Structure 1
Amino acid sequence: MCGIVVCHVPAGSAARDVLRMNQALSHRGPDGEGYLLVRDRRTLSVGGPDTSAQVLASPHGAVDGRIEAHLDSRFELMLAQRRLAIVDLSAGGHQPMQGAPGQWAIFNGEIYNFVELREELKGLGHSFRSHSDTEVLLAAFAQWGEAALPRLNGMWALVIFDAQRRELFVARDRFGVKPLYVWQGPAGELLLASEIKSLLCHPLVQAAPDLQVCEQFLSHGPDEAQRATPFQGITRFPAGHWARYALDGGRLDPQPFWRWPAEPEAGAGFDSAHARELQQRYLALLDDAVRLRLRSDVRVGTALSGGLDSSSVALLVNRQLRALQVAEQQEVFSSVYRDPQYRDADESAYIAEVARQLDVHSNTIEARWEDLAAEHERMIWALDTPPANTLMSSWHTYKLVAASGVTVTLDGQGADEQLAGYARYARNHVVNSAWGEALGTAREFHRTMPGFAPQLLSGLAVKAARSIVGTGATASLTRLLRMGSRPLQTVDQALRGDFDGPLANLIHYADKTAMAWSVESRMPFMDYRLVEFLATVPAAYKLHEGWTKWLARAAVAPQLPEQIVWRRDKLGWPIPEAQWFGGPLKDWLAQQLQQSDFAREIAARARPRPGLAAQLRQLNLATWHRLYFEEAGRPGRPLGRGLLSGVRP
């Protein structure tokens, strides 16, 4: 897990520019840094202020001095990387890493199946000097080119420079778990970085807000899946794509390497024997996804919310560690709110029950409203783009992880958008069923999950409207009422739309809030084998007998507490924002909104629906604009483990 930077300026850019860009990513990689400087077809690999003496002395690193000796020299291409050492902690994992003659890689992420790939590549004649997955990546690229990408099981944003062909190869993982941002200039300049704040450090980049994107954010919320960002001229490299870029007059033209499998058969019914087969297949794939993601040379933990998804991951981690006879007790990390006034946001009882049954060491932390102003600023600075809410539960969870000396967590993101975990999917099921089945489904869900009542009623209303005025008029009506999530879609269509849309926001939050504390978040539910399997499972096995995620519940039912498996509520890293901003932070919120001319102007144009959710989006937009555009020199806020003084696990 790292941060990466590419700086290609045909007329030349000073080495101090890439040093400044890379330093902005130090929280993503506090364990080291490296640079490749290219000019006149010559390459120079150098270290930086945080490059260890071990790397400088190692023959594996091929490092010749430090970048400080070249700060005023200009180079047409510079690659940079910040390292969070997780696999092969030695100098053998240093980047930029050279593979085949003239090929250099910088890489942010993990290739979980690198062990199996290394054995396959050895059989094809490749040899290895380290245990790093980056070296395996280089060998795979040398062997198969872009055809290597479908073989990789992992998360990545990577760049490989071929000095002989004077070409960059750029790729991002299937689902965009690892970020990569792009800026292109009028004279053939190309800048890439893991975070936008890094791009803003280059003198060619003149930052300005994209007013249309900001307006869309206030109206509809964030959209981390789209190419455009709230910064003019800065885009996202698309997930599941690769591109080749020639230094001599090239063009960045991303091509897809992964596509969705065909949707399951529409209207397929439930079969008990087939259900048992699906449960077994689901659990085997999730278990193997966990097994691969436990590969690490540093301490690993689990973020535990007390819900089904994170509890399932904790269960399978527990089982894997016991099979390996690991003596050290498993660590789980949670945000809790034990004050009675925050009862609706507290999952501590569920967390304690899971921890008791699995016999794990439970670490908990509670966000305090008194600290929100300072923590909120750091969170906004860490994310680069304004989120939907304050993210204080995930922010504090990873803060706790870092304070406990754990570097890697296995987390539960991605399950709801594949297994139909939200009330809106029950609504879609009601809308697209025959009347008799729709009424029966509504009754079942109201019995098992009474909190779904508003969505069920809206589903019945949409169904009635369609039968009276037709599909087109009903679609117009739902858009007018801002019902969201396209209630006329089938469950499978809604799941796929959410996977490509709202899930991208959650993945973005996980990466940026974890990396702000120099922690790597791994997501077993985002294993591409599991994703492709679940994409073919009919909705009848996801929504069944009044339960969301029926397949996942039934698969782990014998192994987790019943009150976890068959929970009747759905929270998901809740935050007591209604109590905070309706109480002690009410005046502070009003003051922040009033002080931001920019956010008020955008709100006047966007006219978001009144309510706390819109106010929090406006707060986040106001803070984002202040930190990135209004403060002199855009100093931002410090990030990383250096902020951990006084934090107790």
Structure 2
Amino acid sequence: MCGIAGIFDSQGQAEVNLDILQAMNQVQFHRGPDEGGHFLSPGVGLAHRRLSIIDISSGQQPMLTPEQDVGLVFNGEIYNFKSLRQELEQLDYVFSSQSDSEVILKGWQAWGEQVVDKLRGMFAFAIWDKNQQCLFIARDRLGIKPLHYALLHSGEFIFASELKSLQVHPLLPSELSAAAISDYFSFGYIPEPKTIFEQVFKLSPGHCLRVVKGESLPMPRQYWDVSFKPSAAVDTSEHTLIEKLKEAVDIRMVAEVPLGAFLSGGVDSSAVVAMMANAQPEAVNTCAIGFDVKDYNETDFAAQVAKHYHTAHQVETVAADDFELLDELAYFYDEPFADSSAMPTYRVCELAKKQVTVALSGDGGDEVFAGYRRYQWHMKEEKMRRLVPESARKPVFSALGQWYPKADWAPKVLRAKTTFQALARDTLEGYFHNFSIFTEEQKSQLFSDKLKQQLAQYRSIEVFQHHAEAFDGDDALSLVQYLDLKTYLPGDILTKVDKVSMAHSLEVRVPLLDHHFVEWACQVKPEQRLQGSNGKAIFKRALEPYLPNDVLYRKKMGFAVPLAKWFRGPLKGKLKQALSSGLMSQTQLFNQDYLNTLVEQHLSGRRDHSAALWTLLMFEAFLKKQAGQPQQQLDSRA
């Protein structure tokens, strides 16, 4: 795992400022503490930080052809690099290393842009081709590895693994994006291709971009998408599931450094550990984080799996009020990010790094096999939408949604206001409404007149509408899974893991997001994925010979933290201070009276605004980072 950065003069051959390039590279030191390097040629500069995993003795980057007319910087792992190497050797390409990086380099020479279609793995890379006078960047299909870019008014095209690396460049525009701010307060993260900055972008998963000298910047090209179109030719049996899962895990166990796995005690991580244990004779290194509050502690279930497979298991207990990480997380996430489970994820990566350099995780199982509880609620709402004609449904449920009180204190079955509001909407709007941290109505109260004027007619549901246009399935469950694969998975889950794992120089591999496995799983019938209230039904049944029923069929917990309790206790003072701070008011983005109302209602116990308040707190942490961190600040871990 690594960090990449670069500068390309898209209009001429201006000399690249080496000091800026090196500073861009150094600020990502934590991504690759083992080695660093750079390459300069007229009009281009490439830089790389390396975390050595495969071919440790060679494979240094930037990697160049002998003629130095093609250069590569690459972050990730290519799991089919050996078979691709054989294919290239048959085409008379000669290799000087055993690395997967060189396969991409020679693959570009052989196949050009189509090299991305052949790669199986997680990756973000850039290739400079002197003869074609172009720079080519690409990101893996599911968005496991990040890649940011911007075109500066100087004509320089800059790219990097992390946003903070681009911020080092003195010409980077720093105007905040109104649409990104709106998206953040809906989703809790900023979905691709936006970033918090108006003129800076993330390369979307499954996309590539070719920048040709002297030509205007084109739109990124999509080279892959997942299909939910039913196909009778696909064998979706439980036996096939296990065979494909075994293969996805097996190819991710190649490393020249210590390797292990996260073991939360949930179905997905337990499945990965089970496959690893069956694939190797020695004990699997596993680790788990426990909390000192019983309701948030899953370590007993992790211990069951560890005992069953005789893993070398490590457990550490952290305080449930482990919120001291707040400001540090703001540094690593670069832009506002409101998933509070980033804190325990940071701790489990910290623990894993004591034992291994590579860890396999179970991320992606909920999106691929419909494991989230929100899918169950959505399908129940869909059933009601089908039963009640739209002409009656919208006015009736709109009125009920308006009339019914917001009862955060009541049992969930009595908290019907959100459900009524969702039922008054169509499928897409209903799912978006249930998903949103702040609804559009709440954002109208939260945002200042200035911000609302900047937003004009923009609404964050456009993110879903854009992706829904490309959906090729024919059922409501597959649609919302597709939306999550395009938004929540890369924008939240994978971003969360990448940032905090790289903070500890730990590589995380995700076998459940092997694109061959995902393509197969999306052909599984909806009723095989979600059966009533049993999500991941086929996945659990297939795993019954491998895992205890207590692990497979227990209530889903997730990596939650007790936000509501924190804000009425130890974070009370910090919350008040942050939301009334000069930073929040100076932005002129928010209605201060509404902020005060949210705090007062939550502290009084009348309402639970914990998710909304955490989202605001993390936005303030971002503002504080922006105000207090000079652009040229280097990573303190260097």
TM-score of the superposed pair, with normalisation by structure 2: 0.82
CA–CA separation in structure 2 for the residues paired with 1:606 and 1:636? 38
| Among 275, 292, 308, the residue aligned to 2:251 | 292
CA–CA separation in structure 2 for the residues paired with 1:532 and 1:121? 26
Contact 2:330 2:622 in 1 (8 A): yes
User: Map of 1:191-270 to 2, 5 A cutoff?
Assistant: 191-224=158-191, 226-264=192-230
Match of 1:618 in 2: 616
Structure 1 unaligned runs (5+)? 40-75, 269-273, 439-450, 641-649
Change (3 A) 1:527 1:464: closer
Match of 1:71 in 2: none
Q: Does 2:558 match 1:558?
A: no
CA–CA separation in structure 2 for the residues paired with 1:235 and 1:436? 39
Residue 212 of structure 1 and its aligned partner are, at CA, apart by: 3.9
Change (3 A) 1:135 1:531: same
Q: Does 2:352 match 1:396?
A: no
Match of 1:2 in 2: 2
CA–CA separation in structure 1 for the residues paired with 2:370 and 2:432? 25
CA–CA separation in structure 1 for the residues paired with 2:38 and 2:621? 33
CA–CA separation in structure 1 for the residues paired with 2:629 and 2:384? 58
Residue 14 of structure 1 and its aligned partner are, at CA, apart by: 1.9
Match of 1:97 in 2: 63
Residue type of the partner of 1:401? A
CA–CA separation in structure 2 for the residues paired with 1:147 and 1:422? 35
Residue 618 of structure 1 and its aligned partner are, at CA, apart by: 0.8
Query: % of aligned pairs identical?
Result: 29
Residue type of the partner of 2:636? P
Greater mean alpha carbon deviation, residues 587-596 or residues 128-137 = 587-596
Match of 2:392 in 1: none
| Among 133, 137, 157, the residue aligned to 1:166 | 133
CA–CA separation in structure 2 for the residues paired with 1:472 and 1:144? 40
Q: Does 2:25 match 1:22?
A: yes
Residue 473 of structure 1 and its aligned partner are, at CA, apart by: 11
Change (3 A) 1:607 1:12: farther
SS of match in other structure, 1:141: helix
Greater mean alpha carbon deviation, residues 152-161 or residues 577-586 = 577-586
| Among 278, 284, 288, the residue aligned to 2:237 | 278
Residue 605 of structure 1 and its aligned partner are, at CA, apart by: 8.4
SS of match in other structure, 1:366: strand
CA–CA separation in structure 1 for the residues paired with 2:411 and 2:243? 31
Residue 210 of structure 1 and its aligned partner are, at CA, apart by: 2.6
Contact 2:563 2:611 in 1 (8 A): no
Q: Deviations over 1:461-487 (max 9, x none)?
A: 689868xxx989989998778899999
SS of match in other structure, 1:138: helix
| Among 298, 306, 309, the residue aligned to 1:358 | 309
Q: Does 2:573 match 1:587?
A: yes
CA–CA separation in structure 2 for the residues paired with 1:193 and 1:591? 34
Change (3 A) 1:131 1:474: closer
Q: Does 2:331 match 1:385?
A: no
Contact 1:191 1:199 in 2 (8 A): yes
Change (3 A) 1:78 1:250: farther
SS of match in other structure, 1:521: strand
User: Map of 1:66-77 to 2, 5 A cutoff?
Assistant: 76-77=43-44
Root-mean-square deviation (CA), in Å? 3.4
Structure 2 unaligned runs (5+)? 389-409, 444-460, 469-473, 599-608
CA–CA separation in structure 1 for the residues paired with 2:320 and 2:156? 45
CA–CA separation in structure 1 for the residues paired with 2:181 and 2:414? 29
Residue 142 of structure 1 and its aligned partner are, at CA, apart by: 1.6
Contact 1:291 1:320 in 2 (8 A): yes
Q: Deviations over 1:50-87 (max 9, x none)?
A: xxxxxxxxxxxxxxxxxxxxxxxxxx210111111101
Contact 1:3 1:83 in 2 (8 A): yes
Residue type of the partner of 1:312? A
Residue 162 of structure 1 and its aligned partner are, at CA, apart by: 1.2
SS of match in other structure, 1:159: strand
Match of 1:522 in 2: 509
User: Map of 1:219-618 to 2, 5 A cutoff?
Assistant: 219-224=186-191, 226-264=192-230, 277-322=236-281, 327=282, 329-337=283-291, 339=292, 342-368=293-319, 372-373=323-324, 375-390=325-340, 391-404=342-355, 406-433=356-383, 454=413, 490-504=476-490, 505-544=492-531, 546-567=533-554, 569-598=555-584, 601-604=588-591, 610=598, 611-618=609-616
Residue type of the partner of 2:213? L
How many positions carry a matched residue from both structures? 569
Contact 2:236 2:524 in 1 (8 A): no
User: Map of 1:33-182 to 2, 5 A cutoff?
Assistant: 33-39=36-42, 76-90=43-57, 92-99=58-65, 101=67, 102-182=69-149
Q: Deviations over 1:274-306 (max 9, x none)?
A: 999521121111111111111111111111111
Change (3 A) 1:217 1:165: same
Residue 379 of structure 1 and its aligned partner are, at CA, apart by: 1.4
Residue type of the partner of 1:299? P
SS of match in other structure, 2:337: coil
Change (3 A) 1:590 1:364: farther
